């Protein structure tokens, strides 16, 4: 873990974020393809499992979260019309998963000593469908433009503005 802050900034808007995330997912998929083409990654089952569990699940979740959220919303919307389409177990698992995610985000926010932002934590569920949009874009780019890497603009945060001002004041 890096102890001092890196002062890296997140993208300031949704579209650049989707571009950045699609570039990352495209890189994950290409890495998976390269490592899986020669057989078992790492040469043994343990290394292969670890590799696929980390990188493969990141790709899988990016492609699936949006569709799973959409399916859940459709099930709840259809409930009054055709009855329950989800079991109690499905509902408990969904609520548990979202609750654990929110608890981890809260712990992360408290660990960084930032001001508590409950709106950011609660609205995090909208991050998942955006990941799926980025993953679909990555798949399209992998097929159509495999060597194109979209650049991410930086320098829009308050930290960048403060840093630029302090550099201007140097003698």
**Mean pLDDT in order along the chain per 10 residues (171 residues):** 64 84 92 80 77 87 89 86 85 89 88 80 85 95 88 66 54 51
Domain extent listing, the chain: 14-36+45-147
- For residue 31, the number of C-alpha atoms closer than 13 Å in the C-beta half-sphere is 13
- Longest distance between any two alpha carbons in the chain, whole Å: 73
pTM score: 0.74
How many residues are given for the chain? 171
CA 112 to chain CA centroid, Å, is 19
Distance in angstroms between the alpha carbons of the first and the last residue of the chain: 36
Extract the tokens encoding 168: 């201007």
CB 142 within 8 Å of CB 30: yes
The residue behind tokens 């899988």 is 60
Specify the pLDDT at position 33.
85
């Amino acid at each position: 873990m890096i102890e001092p802050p890196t002062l890296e900034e997140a993208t300031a808007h949704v579209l650049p974020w989707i571009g950045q995330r699609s570039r990352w997912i495209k890189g994950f998929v290409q890495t998976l393809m390269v490592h899986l083409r020669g057989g078992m990654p790492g040469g043994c089952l343990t290394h292969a499992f670890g590799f696929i569990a980390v990188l493969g699940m990141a790709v899988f979740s990016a492609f699936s979260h949006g569709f799973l959220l959409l399916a859940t919303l459709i099930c709840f919307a259809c409930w009054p019309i055709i009855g329950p389409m989800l079991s109690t177990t499905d509902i408990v698992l969904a609520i548990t998963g979202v609750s654990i995610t929110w608890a981890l985000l809260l712990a992360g926010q408290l660990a960084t000593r930032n001001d508590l932002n409950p709106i950011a934590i609660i609205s995090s569920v909208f991050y998942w469908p955006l990941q799926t949009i980025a993953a679909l874009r990555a798949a399209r780019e992998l097929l159509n433009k495999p060597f194109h890497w979209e650049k991410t603009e930086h320098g829009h945060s308050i930290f960048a503005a403060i840093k630029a001002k302090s550099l201007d004041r140097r003698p």
